[in-house]
Amino acid sequence: MSDMIETISRESMKGYTEFSGIELTQTKEGYAEGKVEIQDHHRNPSGAVHGGIIFCLGDVIGGIACRTLGALPVTVSSNISYMRPMLKDRVIYARAEVLKAGKTLYNVTIRILNEQKTESAVLQAIYHDMKSRGK
């Protein structure tokens, strides 16, 4: 595990994120990847992966992509498009890329992939850098 992943994991992967089972797998400047190993409690009544864990994975990994640029991000707004159900998937993945880092706002695209690495959902999110508060 790289030093950046270790540092960000230690600082970011706590509380609800840890409870959700999200794991950070890769980072570089303006980019992050992560995954969740799907458990029974991650599924909805129809047996598909619940949209809430899909969104949570994307939101967390998107925020971590901002952290790689030195931000202390909080989500301002986001939009998710679910394109295909994840019925038998045991692992889902997220890849987040910061498209624009402004003075206080970060525009990020997060792609959610199923176990076969096929794109299943896309989030578009705006994060605010809390470090900018008080400036």
Total of domains in the chain: 1
**What is the extent of the structural domain holding 114?**
3-132
User: How much is the mean pLDDT over the chain?
Assistant: 92
Looking up residue 50, the CATH number of its domain turns out to be: 3.10.129.10
Distance in angstroms (rounded) separating the CA atoms of residues 75 and 89:
27
Q: pLDDT band for position 21 (50/70/90)?
A: very high
pLDDT in tens, 60-78: 999 999 999 999 999 999 9
> From the centroid of its chain, how far is CA 110?
7
Contact (Cβ atoms closer than 8 angstroms) between residue 112 and residue 119: yes
Q: Name residue 28's beta-bridge partners.
A: 31
Which residues, 6+ apart, have CB-to-CB distance to 51 below 8 Å?
Answer: 44, 80, 82
